[in-house]
Structure 1
Amino acid sequence: MKHTYQVLDMSCGGCEANVKKALLALSDVCKVEIDLATKAVVIEMQSHLSLDILQQALLTAGLHYTITLPEHGFAHHSKPASNIENGNGVFYCPMFCEGEKTYSTQSGCPICGMDLVEQPSTTQATQFTCPMHPDVVQDTPGNCPICEMDLVVLESENGEQKTYQELLKKMKISVLFALPVFVISMSDLIPNNPLNTLMSVQNLGFMQFALTLPIVFWTCWVFFKRAYRSIVTWNLNMFTLVGIGTGAAFIFSVVGLFFPEIFPDNFKAENGTVLLYFEATAVILTLVLLGQLLEAKAHSQTSSALKALLQLAPATAILLKNNTEVVIAIDKIKREDLLRVKPGEKIAVDGVITEGESSLDESMISGEPIPVDKFKGDKVTAGSINGNQSFVMRAQKVGSETLLAQIIEMVKIASRSRAPIQKLADTIAKYFVPIVVLMAILTFIVWVWFGPEPALAYGFVNAVAVLIIACPCALGLATPMSVMVGVGKGAQAGVLIKNAQVLEIMDKVDVLITDKTGTLTQGKPSVEEVFSQRGSADDLLCKIASLNQYSEHPLAQAVVQFAQEKNINLTKVIDFKAIIGKGVVGVIGKQKITLGNLALMTTNKIDISDVLMEKVTVAQSQGKTVSYIGVDDKVLGYVAISDSIKSSSKKAITELMSQGVQVIMMTGDNQNTAKAVADALNLSEFQAQCLPEDKLNKIKQLQAQGKIVAMAGDGVNDSPALAQADVGIAMGTGTDVAIQSAEITLIQGDLYGIVKAKKLSYAVMKNIKQNLFFAFIYNILGVPIAAGVLFPVFGVLLSPMIAATAMSFSSVSVIANALRLRKVSL
């Protein structure tokens, strides 16, 4: 029997190996399969074992992990869903302190203490409700059973909204209590303080104490919990500093209020009372809460591109069932369903048009604003917006299979990846808090030894200011915020970034290796001529089309389509074999048919006449791709195929070369055709008749010279080169294998997307450096000023409340700067 569980605390390959070893130690366990991404563990066992036994096995092995039943939608006895972690109720740290680890509660990051952010769901089931009767909720669209009104999509409140609303509520309450505390404290600055006529100084102190209690033990208590947890686990963070600073001020004030006699005169005012800091505690905590509130608001904007993509898919679609139109929820669509798409509607899933024609706005998928005309047989993608004509489509990819869902998933993964430049911030942040605490202690000692009276009071206040003004979060947020916004911006422009490391490398690329077919050219080849030296050209066409029906190469498909258009019946082929980079071979009847380039003919010792070679040379000089047709040991003809150059290729190459990028075309096509294309694009460097290993070796050679190489291609044979390159760039129109091997995917299959990717890389890296500079300079200048370095010269001290204001806005400033990337022109 098989059961599925979750081990919530696994975060790396080592965790996975340890858990598997511990569970396999149980005699009844036969096999353990672990999906680290989903924390899912499938256990095959001889007899059912309880959760307690499994948990004890982990504890016995010294693993303090929690094993539990799955919580996010896959059945206990079923295979775990691959995208479980994408559902609502799954949270991540905005600073990615533990990499891609997710959490099942929003209690705060265990490392940095920041509020966790909820992941948006890519495959939520849609529910519908009545606008007049909100208690009516159902899974299918229709009419309200009470008032007959059309049901509308139920808008669920996401985690970010809940967090923001909860913080806003606490903020209002904190201000309500902190304001009178602040007024009471500041009233001492007014001559003949009017409040002293109403009550004694001691009673005013008790009032401040009472007003501060709700802030410390209710609205901001979570800060102290996080501070305590950070110290216990020794994951020191911002809340460590806030907790120590405000906690010390509050405890000092409580003791000073109730037991003033134990303090020396250095801590007392002129009237003999102990200086209290309830206002510092209340106001600082309220300002920190304000910073958290502003961050929650800003975080919702950093993922705006992802949310825009999520909103592209409609909630419902029109299903054609027995010639009747039925409105169904998008998650109920199945493959092969016929759907009606009316003017102005969004396309729900990927498919092909079976009836009608229209023009589609694919700008949010491809980044291109120009509508695309679609006809019967053309493919359409989810998220596209229909023009002014209705058509019928057949669903081919649904749910997480659609291009839109894959784009969303890719954006989410890339947004959570870490750029190499972040290592600098991580290293500094590791030692940041202990250093700040030591500086606060040193500040107190220096003021006690060298400061004016009351020296102890000065020392205490300035030490608190040092603790409060330091902000490790600004350092931690500098890189991930820019990456998140940048990746989203790229997706909107049709440039999918696989990980943050690519963004950093792409800016440094100085050589671009590019394929020809499907990269520089349209990738939609068409047969222009089938020439036969003897006999019927249609007879040769039948042979090569029959051979090509087993090949997935674009040129092969063009030949097959050409034969179908001429109503030529294909015949049976045996011993079919594809030789990568050369062509195909097979046997039809008793004849061996060889179709491919000159290298294939030479290898198989197939004779080519001089007359035929002259004709081939003329066709190749016109930029056509020519494949020789060999029958047994002689070439009897050729097929000429044209593939027009993309209009954007020349513009992209010109712009890349103006930026100092060396562009090299490497193609498996012949020398003459390659030269014709290179001349048309003003390419000075190209290489023809390349095999996959030639591209791979060229990239290795350039890398050995210290070059940063990008490779652009769209075919299976490009996969090794794409994987070897510093940056692999796949055309979205290409094969899945090529896309999986690449770090960047251009949805439109347009070479100008590389220019966009380079601009985006430059903008993101510049933004990250600005954030890091701001975070560093803020702390480098802020901490010494808080310590009082300006006091000997200017007599200026930094109030802890002003320090709290600066600290609260530092992280927000970093996020705000990252948000500027949304306006970058690509």
Structure 2
Amino acid sequence: MFLEDILDSGPVGVDTERGSGAFEKVVLSVQGMTCSGCEKKLIKAFRRIPTIRNEKTSQVLARAEYEIDISVISIDESISQLKRVTSYSFEQLADDIGQALEILSGHPDALMKVGQCPGVQLVDRPDNNNPQLLRIYYNAAEVGARDLLEHRLADIKPRLAPPQAHPSLIAGKKQVRRDGGLFFISAFLTLPVLVFSWAPIPHKGSVVYQVVSLVAASLIQVGVAFEFYPSAFKSLFRSRVIEMDLLIVLSTTAAYAFSVTAFAFMVSGNALETGTFFETSTLLATLILLGRFISELARQKATESISIRSLQTQTAILIDNGNRNVIRVVDARLLQFGDTFRVMPHSSVVTDGIVVYGGSEVNESMVTGEPIPVAKAKDSHVLAGSMNGTGNLDVKLVNLPGQNTISAIADMVDAAELTKPRSQAIADTVAGYFVPVIVAITLIVFVTWVLVGILIQHISHKSAAVNALTYAIATLIISCPCAIGLAVPMVVVIAGGVAAKYGVVFKSPQTIEIARKTTDVVFDKTGTLTQGRMSVVRQFYLGFEKSMTEGFLLGMTQDAKHPVSIAIAEALAASGVKPNRLDSIDVIPGCGIEGRVQDSQIRAGNARWLHVETNTHVQAMLREGLTTFCVEYDQYLVAIFGLRDTIRPEAPRVVRELKERGIMVHILSGDDDIAVRHTATVLNIDSENVVAGAGPADKQAYVRSLTEKKPGSTVIFCGDGTNDAVALAQATLGIHINSGSATEVAKSAADVVLVRPDLQGVITAIDISRSAFRRILFNFGWSAVYNVFAILLAAGAFVAAFDKARIRPEFAGLGEIASVLPVIVIAFTMKYFNYGR
């Protein structure tokens, strides 16, 4: 019933599932991808490169992934092509091929010596500016990090490199620093221009002041804002995408070019009526960069705030396996298989393990969402990131820090965030048309104001054109498609992170979208509605040697994962029974176990499968509400067991809450009819929604019938075992609960994983989905209202009714802040609500 049942607990070696043929997976951090148009450009760039497949991008995570056939084009060549087409900066992140360790060593032969060390799979230099830094990928099953550093590589005097944040967070910080640097440079150059233009200083129209303004404006246009030009024109001519950068280029260039022209007229003695306005181009560029900087900073902070990787502890107290009183503090990265570490009172558990000494209560809410501390004693499992109570715990390591509960959940969340939800397609479509429409509107605004100036205001053609240009520039830059592009992914990232901290892992954004529409929830019984910890309360043997029956039965069930088999095996082992060896054993999902000994066949499972449900002893046990487990030897019934399970304590509350929301609740089980209906009665589930004796195909058919019976219905199936896999796949939304019988087959078929065995996670998933959907709607609404009103205001639509009711072009750069920040803030508020409680 622990997380190891649903996550890989062993060390990770070379990835053998990278695809067919010579395909390799490439993971990149991307700098410069600031809007949905940027993502669209990157996707188009991917499609221009031969053999690329399974491409995924995330603007919020600043990350891209794809697979490429390296027999046709190398990874470096593909990255170079992407750079040429997009002008983005790319950094390749190593896909996990083993446990990674970064060291520093100035030894000239360090790279060669590390590469020759047994267990090391790959060594590279991740930073060209630091030749001492080496990243080692090693097989943790063959060699440990501490053995590598302290023994096998001792002659090159290696040191651990300073710990680094996750690559996606590092890439985000780089983008924030870059945007911040550009803004401060631009602001420094803009300040004197504003002083010369607005301050009450004598002779501020002199040529000297104007020359200084020209130099500052030119430095901003060429040195700072020039970065928008390659991106805009490559998007336009190579990817056929008109994006936000093009609006910035057009507006700042128009303002700068007009100012230079006005300066030339002034120097020649034919000054224009309007004079120069270098403050427009400089302040416009500065405010645009400020908007980018604040938006990127807010996105980064929002992403960091829900990053479950932040729960990872950096140090560990290592215990000498020969003497538990001998301890030392080590970097958590140096833990290796076979280690035992100590968890002190009120400290965090460094990684997953099993308690070997001590006792305490551990708060696992930061990983599972369950606020009640869980008692831990010898042989209890503890999860990385959980908080110890008042006792000491000595823990045997199960998973290394880079592959523990925290890492596994975070990887699943990241994988989900790289997938696009359906609503994102709407946002991308709108954003795709947005910029061309704005360019068209800008031309209309310019022409309209030229005509107004000449025909209505009766000013000169030159003055009319200058006035029209200020309206056009403001219209061009005040609009912002970034809010539309972020409306969905920002909410999805926050929702996925919040759900993970409640112990609910959405495998894709689509599941976040559709859970809110749930009409029916179908529960498996054993291990789902019940705790799956069954106990044998009745035994009956019929005319066959009891010891032989028990020996063969223990041999069949001792390695099985189904809760009934586990209970039988535990009961037999506790009675001192020794297992007999069988020639073959086959598990029949939903039915039982089948084994052979020489020419004899032994079958053990439910009474319906063995066609003995009418047996007197079976009927007596069923009337008691027991689950029956029958044993046949060569088609002769030789033993009957009666087992009882316990309903999960939260199950009545969850069923009641679902029914109060108008959601139909069903039970679908392979157990005996009387036992299933007894559970349904206790939970107050309608008898017409109860199906017993259901095998995998029956479960699939029942779920399919619900979806077909009510068009548009959203059916959740919640189960845990292998026999639930087809129903999990068939349901609109499959939820896998981490019970004692949980299997990898069921987990892989599900859309949502409940990290801990708590049905409250079903309510949590629905609540988070509803909350996310409301915020997505708000974001779309805000984006529409902002852009319509801002464009009308910038275009001068209200000038006739309200004097000076317009946005000057130099202040239009604030548009990105005004449009994007509410989208980020409203998504960020998801952190401060309780879900499913």
Does the alignment reach a TM-score above 0.5?
yes
- Indicate how the Cα distance of structure 1 residues 262 and 479 shifts in structure 2: closer, same or farther if over 3 A, else same: farther
Q: Report SS of the residue matched to 1:370.
A: coil
**1:139 and 1:766, CA in 2 relative to 1: closer, same or farther beyond 3 A?**
farther
- The one-letter amino acid paired with 1:752 is Q
CA distance in structure 2 between the aligned counterparts of 1:695 and 1:813, rounded to whole angstroms: 45
Cα distance in 1, alignment partners of residues 598 and 665 from structure 2: 46
- Which residue, out of 694, 700, 706, partners 2:704? 700
Does the CA contact (< 8 Å) of 2:518 and 2:663 recur in 1? yes
Name which of 156, 164, 174 aligns with 2:186. Answer: 174
d(CA) in 2 for partners of 1:318 and 1:507?
A: 46
CA distance in 1, matches of 2:602, 2:205: 108
Match of 2:694 in 1: 690
Structure 1 residue 800, shift from structure 2 partner: 1.3
C-alpha separation between the residues in 2 aligned to 1:769 and 1:656? Answer: 24
Deviation at 1:224, TM superposition (A): 3.8
8 Å contact from structure 2 (residues 196, 209) kept in 1: yes
- Equivalent in the alignment of 2:777: 769
Instruction: Tell me which amino acid in the other structure corresponds to 2:221.
Output: V
For residue 311 of structure 2, what is the aligned residue in structure 1? 311
Segments of structure 2 that go 5 or more residues without pairing to the other structure are 1-20, 29-41, 54-63, 103-124, 128-134, 140-146, 152-158
Aligned pairs for 1:190-269 (under 5 A) are 194-195=200-201, 197-233=202-238, 234-260=240-266, 268-269=272-273
Q: TM-score, normalised by structure 1?
A: 0.79
Paired residues of 1:594 and 1:629 also in contact (CA < 8 A): yes
Query: How many angstroms does 1:399 deviate by?
Result: 4.7
Instruction: Structure 1: state its 5+ residue gaps.
Output: 22-35, 45-49, 75-79, 87-103, 107-120, 126-137, 143-149, 188-193
Shift of 1:303: 1.4
Given candidates 514, 517, 520, the residue that maps to 1:508 is 517
State the 1:164 CA deviation. 2.9
Q: Which residue of structure 1 lines up, in the alignment, with residue 568 of structure 2? A: 559
Tell me the residue number matched to 1:347: 349
- Once the two structures are superposed, residues 719-745 of structure 1 have per-residue CA deviations (whole angstroms, 9 ceiling, x without a partner) of 111111111100123212211111111
Q: Could you tell me whether the CA contact under 8 Å between 2:363 and 2:389 is conserved in 1?
A: yes
| TM-score computed with the length of structure 2 as normaliser | 0.78
- Note if contact 2:554-2:572 (Cα within 8 Å) is conserved in structure 1: yes
Distance across 2 between alignment mates of 1:761 and 1:247: 44
Q: 1:682 to 1:535 in 2, by over 3 A?
A: same
Structure 2 counterpart of 1:163, which letter? Q
Aligned counterparts of 2:48 and 2:582: Cα–Cα separation in 1:
49
Give distance in 2, aligned partners of 1:226 and 1:300. 22
Over residues 544-563 of structure 1, what are the superposed CA-to-partner deviations in whole Å (9 max), with x where a residue is unaligned? 22221242212111211222
- % identical aligned pairs: 25
Q: What code does the residue aligned with 1:284 have?
A: L
* Aligned pairs (5 A) from 1:399-798: 399-451=401-453, 452=457, 453=459, 454-533=463-542, 540-587=549-596, 592-602=601-611, 609-610=615-616, 612-620=617-625, 624-684=626-686, 685-705=689-709, 706=711, 707-733=713-739, 734-795=742-803, 796-798=805-807
Structure 1 residue 160 corresponds to structure 2 residue 176: no
- In 2 relative to 1, CA 325–560 (structure 1 residues): closer, same or farther, beyond 3 Å? same
Q: Give the equivalent residue in structure 2 for 1:820.
A: 829
Write the deviation string for residues 290-326 of structure 1: whole angstroms up to 9, x where unpaired: 1112112211222134434333344435153443534
Secondary structure of the structure 2 residue equivalent to 1:19 = coil
Q: Could you tell me how far 1:591 is from its partner in structure 2?
A: 5.6
| CA deviation string 1:122-158 (max 9, x = no partner) | x999xxxxxxxxxxxx99799xxxxxxx999656693
Structure with more relative contact order (C-alpha pairs < 8 Å, separation 6 or more): 2
Counterparts of 1:105 and 1:439, CA distance in 2: 48
Which residue type is aligned with residue 779 of structure 1? Answer: N
Quote the residue 2:131 is aligned against.
none
Task: Return the alpha-carbon distance in structure 1 between the equivalents of residues 635 and 721 of structure 2.
Answer: 30
- By how many angstroms is 1:529 displaced? 2.6
| Structure-2 change in CA distance of 1:818 and 1:803 (3 Å) | same
State the 1:248 CA deviation.
0.6
Aligned pairs (5 A) from 1:128-143 = none
Write the distance in 2 (CA, Å) between the matches of 1:432 and 1:757: 34
Q: Give, as a single letter, the amino acid of the residue that structure 2 aligns with 1:278.
A: F
Distance 2:269 2:705 in 1: 75
Find the aligned partners of 2:27 and 2:410 in 1 and give their Cα distance.
24
Alpha-carbon separation, structure 2, partners of 1:262 and 1:39? 60
8 A contact 2:519–2:664 mirrored in 1: yes
Which residue of structure 2 aligns with residue 330 of structure 1?
332
- Contact kept, 8 Å, 1:475 with 1:772, in 2: the verdict is yes
Distance change (3 Å), C-alpha of 1:805 and 1:343: same
Q: Deviations over 1:533-580 (max 9, x none)?
A: 457866644442222124221211121122222221111123433222
Q: Which stretch shows the higher mean deviation, 515-524 or 591-600?
A: 591-600
What's the Cα RMSD here?
Answer: 3.9
Question: Against the structure 1 CA distance between its residues 312 and 787, is the aligned structure 2 distance closer, same or farther, given a 3 Å change threshold?
Answer: same
CA distance in 2, matches of 1:43, 1:442: 52
The one-letter code of the counterpart of 1:561 is E
583-592 or 471-480: bigger deviation: 583-592
- Secondary structure of 1:630 counterpart: strand
Give the structure 2 partner of residue 130 of structure 1. Answer: none
For residues 702 and 586 of structure 1, what CA distance do their matches in structure 2 show?
36
- Contact 1:306–1:408 at 8 Å: present in 2 too? no
Cα 1:614–1:806 change in 2 (3 A) is: closer
Q: Following the alignment from structure 1 to structure 2, what is the Cα–Cα distance between the partners of residues 185 and 124?
A: 63
The superposition leaves residues 176-226 of structure 1 with CA deviations (integer Å, 9 ceiling, x where unpaired) of 332342343335xxxxxx53x345444443332233233323343323443
Measured in 1, the distance between the counterparts of 2:415 and 2:601 equals: 49
Q: Distance in 2 between matches of 1:743 and 1:6?
A: 23
Q: Distance in 2 between matches of 1:449 and 1:713?
A: 70
Whether the 8 Å CA contact 1:305–1:489 is kept in 2: the answer is: no
The 5 A counterparts of 1:95-114 are: none
User: Does structure 1 retain, via aligned residues, the 8 Å contact 2:23–2:67?
Assistant: no
CA contact (8 A) 1:530 1:537 kept: no
| Distance in 1 (alpha carbons) for counterparts of 2:27 and 2:464 | 51
Note closer, same or farther for the CA distance 1:158–1:140 as it changes in structure 2 (3 Å cut): farther
- Cα displacement (A) at 1:230: 3.3
What do residues 391-425 of structure 1 show as CA deviations (whole Å, max 9, x unaligned)? 33333332554222110101111223222112121
- Distance in structure 2 (CA, Å) of the matches to 1:4 and 1:339: 40
Report the CA distance shift for 1:357/1:550 in structure 2 as closer, same or farther (over 3 A): same
In 2, Cα distance between the equivalents of 1:51 and 1:760? 42
Tell me if the contact between 1:362 and 1:369 (Cα under 8 Å) persists in the aligned partners.
yes
Matched letter for residue 283 of structure 1: L
Helix, strand or coil for the counterpart of 1:347?
coil
Cα distance in 2 for partners of 1:278, 1:82 equals 56
Separation in 1, partners of 2:440, 2:613: 85
1:19 and 2:40 matched: no
Q: How many residues align?
A: 722
Tell me if structure 1 keeps the 8 A contact 2:477–2:813: yes
Q: Residues 657 and 336 from structure 1, CA distance in 2 versus in 1: closer, same or farther, beyond 3 angstroms?
A: same
What residue in structure 2 maps to residue 391 of structure 1?
A: 393
CA distance in 2, matches of 1:442, 1:758: 47
**Distance change >3 Å, CA 281–CA 687, structure 1 → 2:** same
SS at match of 1:664: strand
Amino acid in the other structure paired with 2:186: S
